[in-house]
Structure formats: C-alpha cells, structure tokens
Amino acid sequence: MATTTTTTSTITKRSPVMMATKRTEVPDVKTMRDAIPARCFERSMLRSFSYVVRDLVAVSLLFYSAVQLVRLDLPWTLSVPLWTVYGFVTGLFFTGLWILAHECGHDSFSANGTVNATTGWFLHSMLLVPFFSWKFSHSRHHRYANHMEKDTVFVPHRKPAEHQEKPEPTFLERIMDHTAADTPIVSIISLIIHQLFGWPAYMLLNAGAGVKSLTTKSTRKETPKYMQSHLNPTAHVFTQSEQPFVLLSNIGLVIILATLYQVSRSIGVMNTFFIYGVPYLWMNHWIVAITYLHHTHPEAAHYEADTWTYAKGALSTVDREFGFIGRHIFHGIIEYHVVHHIFPRIPFYHCEEATWAIAPMLGDNIHPVQVR
C-alpha cells in the first residue's frame, strides 16, 4: 500500500523530469546503472576539493567583512540592511559547505575513505553538525527511503480509518509537519517552528523518523527520547560499532563551541551571533526546506512494508528547480536528487548527466511537478 503527502512547487523545462510522459514499470537498479555512463561514477578528489576551497574562501571573505562591519559605528538604518544581507548570503555558503560534507558522508567526495571522513568531520563540525552521527542515520534514510516504518526522514502520519477519531497532533509532530494544523495562524507559527527547530529536533529527538527506524527491535514510542539523540553514543539510533565515531562527532562540536566562546569574549555575544549564529539559522532553514521538498509531493508515495522496494522508495523522491543558487551554491542537490537517492556515490557534478541517462526509462516513476 502506498501513502502520499501533499505540497506544491515548480520546475523549469530544463529538467529531465519533463520527459516523464508515460507510466512504466519501475526498472531494477542494475538496468538503471547500465544506462548511466561509467564516467558518472568517477570521483575526483581534486575537483571536489576545488569546491571546498571556493566555498571556504567565500565564507572567509564574508567573515572578514563582518568583522570590519563590527568596527564601524554605523546608524541602524545602514547596519540592519548590511547585517541582513550578510546573514542571508553567508547562510547560503554555509549550506553549500554542508552539502559538500554530505558528499563526504556518501563517499562520493573521493575514492579515499579516510579523506572523506576527515573532510566531512571538519566541515560538518565547523557548522555544528555531528558528522558521523548524521552519516549513520542518513545512510539508513537512503537504505529505506519512503518506507512507512523504517525511513528516518519526514515519515508522514497515516490517516485514521473512517471509524477512528483523528488524533490531535503532538507539539513535536507539528514541528515536523506544519500542515498538521487547521488554522492559518497556527500553520504559520508551526512553519516557523518547523524551519527554526526542525533540524535540532531531528538531531536531539530523532523527530520525523519512522516507528521502526531504530537499530534495535524496540519502536520509537517504546524508546526514551534521550536514547534517540544523535548526540548520545549509546542511543538506539546507532550500532555498537558506530558508537566511537559518534563520540568523535561530539568532540568536533565541543571544539567549535569552545572556539565560539572565545570569539564571543573578544567581540561580544551579539556580534558573534550576527557573524555566526544568523548564518547558522539560515543554514538550518535551507537543510530542512530542501529535505522536506525532496520527500513531499502528491505523486511521491510512501510505501508500507509489504510493497516497499529500494528502487520504488528511491524513485519516490522529487527533483526541483532552484535556479542559480541551487545549481551553483547548493551544488545541484535540489535539482538532481532522485538519481542521488538511487546511486548516492555519484558525485554531485555528474548527477545531471546521470539523470538525463535514466530519465527516458522512468516515465511517470520520476515525479514531475506542474509547470506554471
């Protein structure tokens, strides 16, 4: 049985999903892999690091400009617009670095596992993300994408049967699904909370995950919240062999928090918040928004255990067009997410070619959104 969720978006005519005009059977993974040129699976460490260097240079220049802004005694009519632009633009590049660390987590950054782990840990720690903790749960999201019980990301609520009373959504459910509210004001408030706290809620409480997404046989309802935190090495989100790496992730967070504390003693808490905290909040917003839109669409089904397969789950994600920012700062993760779900080790700079290679055989199994 397949369950669907609702949202809307747009896509441009440049996208390969526009070729989807006919319902077809879901092709097997090998058939799709054979259709993709072998070069798409080649990982270039030099090319990947060129994007890291580019984004780090951009962030460094933005940090420098912010420090100079702190030293200027500008009236609020000038300082507020400048800080607003700074926070937004820096948040974009924070998100770009987050996505490059995401490449490391999938080992699509390079063919060297040590380089991937070290680079991903450095980049994600810098952004206050527990790299290995996220990597382990994210790999299970890819393994069980759109599985109603085992997926770890934005699993929708089942509609109650006609004879059952619809349960009132909990506060946490409203954070992860802002459509659960009935009134516009509550929906707007829930959306704001969703965008501000959705990512911390997932990291700290495993919010949005399926009832059987843990590594033990116990369900999420039976497991205390502290045993589902991505910061707890002994949490049921991880296996015993993964626990030391979770601890290493926490060490990275402590290093960055200690650095931010020292910076705040030098330039002040508010200035530190404007320089680092506001871009961090923008990054949280983009990560939650991108993930939500990738996995929420009327035609993108979520499957029960008896009908789910890896291919069907991966193909029930959505490519969306986001223009210059999506393609050049967010490294195309929004535009070519379907092929990434099927073959997560394809580097992001090959995902467009790989998408075009498999689009003709997918038909309506790749979910287009309406052109306006």
Query: Which residues on adjacent β-strands are paired with residue 2?
Result: 303
In a domain? residue 191: no
Residues 56 and 94: their CA atoms lie apart, in Å, by: 9
Q: What is the pLDDT of residues 26-36, one digit of tens each?
A: 888 999 999 99
Give Cβ neighbours of residue 370 (< 8 Å, ≥ 6 apart): 8, 10
Residues 199 and 196: their CA atoms lie apart, in Å, by: 8
Residue 223 is predicted with a pLDDT of 92
Count of domains for the chain: 1
Residues 49 and 55: their CA atoms lie apart, in Å, by: 10
In a domain? residue 90: yes
Give Cβ neighbours of residue 56 (< 8 Å, ≥ 6 apart): 97
Q: What is the pLDDT of residues 38-71, one digit of tens each?
A: 999 999 999 999 999 999 999 999 999 999 999 9
Q: What is the pLDDT of residues 212-222, one digit of tens each?
A: 999 998 898 89
Instruction: Calculate the alpha carbon distances from 121 to 132, 154, 189, 246 in Å.
Output: 7, 25, 34, 11
CA dihedral 81, 284, 90, 332 (to 10 degrees): -120
In a domain? residue 185: no
Provide, for the chain, the percentages of residues in helix, strand and coil under a 3-state DSSP scheme, each rounded to the nearest 5. Answer: 60, 0, 40
For residue 134, pLDDT over 80 is answered with: yes
- Expressed as residue numbers, the domain containing 237 is 2-155+209-365
Identify the weakest region by mean pLDDT among 13-22, 153-162, 204-213, 257-266. Answer: 13-22
In a domain? residue 166: no
For residue 7, pLDDT over 60 is answered with: no
Nearest to residue 131, comparing CAs of 106, 111, 155, 151? 106
Residue 369 is predicted with a pLDDT of 39
Once rounded to an integer, what is the mean pLDDT over residues 86-113?
98
Once rounded to an integer, what is the mean pLDDT over residues 73-93?
94
Residues 269 and 304: their CA atoms lie apart, in Å, by: 48
pLDDT band at 189 (very low <50, low <70, confident <90, very high): confident
Residue 24 is predicted with a pLDDT of 59
For residue 283, pLDDT over 50 is answered with: yes
Q: What is the CA radius of gyration of the chain?
A: 21
Residue 181 is predicted with a pLDDT of 55
> Can you tell me which residue has the tokens 């879901």?
26
Average pLDDT, the chain: 87
Residues 159 and 362: their CA atoms lie apart, in Å, by: 29
Angle, in degrees to the nearest 10, between helices 45-71 and 113-126 = 20
pLDDT band at 365 (very low <50, low <70, confident <90, very high): low
Give Cβ neighbours of residue 254 (< 8 Å, ≥ 6 apart): none
For residue 158, pLDDT over 80 is answered with: no
Residues 161 and 183: their CA atoms lie apart, in Å, by: 23
Residue 163 is predicted with a pLDDT of 56
Chain-centroid distance, C-alpha 74: 37
Residues 313 and 172: their CA atoms lie apart, in Å, by: 25
Residues 278 and 125: their CA atoms lie apart, in Å, by: 17
Highest mean pLDDT among 18-27, 102-111, 318-327: 102-111
In a domain? residue 192: no
In a domain? residue 14: yes
Residue 12 is predicted with a pLDDT of 36
In a domain? residue 165: no
For residue 87, pLDDT over 70 is answered with: yes
In a domain? residue 164: no
2 three-class SS: strand
